[in-house]
Amino acid sequence: MENKSNVIISSLIVIILIFSISFYLFISFVSLPQKEKEIEELNQYIEKFKDDDYENKMIEVSNAIKYVNDYMILLENKKNASNFLNFFESWAHPGISYNINLDFSYNKAMARGVTDNVVKLMEQIAILGIQEKIKEYEISDVDIAIDGKTQFNLTFYFSEELIK
């Protein structure tokens, strides 16, 4: 009985010993070299991208994105003065001569009008009143001379869509 248990314990120790040595040999001579190779292949694959002028390609793409985006934003937000001038011509009385100051930051126009006849100013006011793109206007400093020559200031705010 004692001999049998001795044999079992001895066998167990030998089996564990063999297993440990085999495990060590397997890791050292099979697994680790395999993993090293795998790592080397992955590194080579990643390095390949660096060699392939990708740095310049990325700069090119990021510059393109930057230029196109900024160009579009500036284009969308720039003011279109021609539209305003065409609009102004559409309702400015031909008998009145204007000196005009336009401030597109505030959508504001200030004009000094001169006409030979106060009736033309009245007509101008009537036309101004029906302009949908003029938000509000004010006529001030009206000066009517004996000969009928009339001078006045016209201040108005126009719709922003007019200069888009």
Q: Which residues bind other proteins (CB under 8 A)?
A: 2, 6, 9-10, 13-14, 16-17, 20-21, 23-24, 27-28, 31-32, 35-36, 38-39, 42-43, 45-46, 49, 54, 57-58, 60-61, 64-71, 73-82, 85, 97-105
C-alpha torsion sign, points 31, 33, 34, 39: positive
In the complex, minimum distance from the CB of residue 120 to other proteins, in angstroms, rounded to a whole number = 18
Beta pairing class for 97-103 and 108-115: antiparallel
**Closest to other proteins by CB, 78 or 149:** 78
Which residue, 21 or 122, is less far from other proteins as judged by CB? Answer: 21
Nearer to other proteins, 126 or 164 (CB): 164
Quickly list H helices, the chain.
Answer: 2-26, 32-51, 54-77, 81-91, 118-129
The kind and range of the H/E element at 156 are strand 150-158
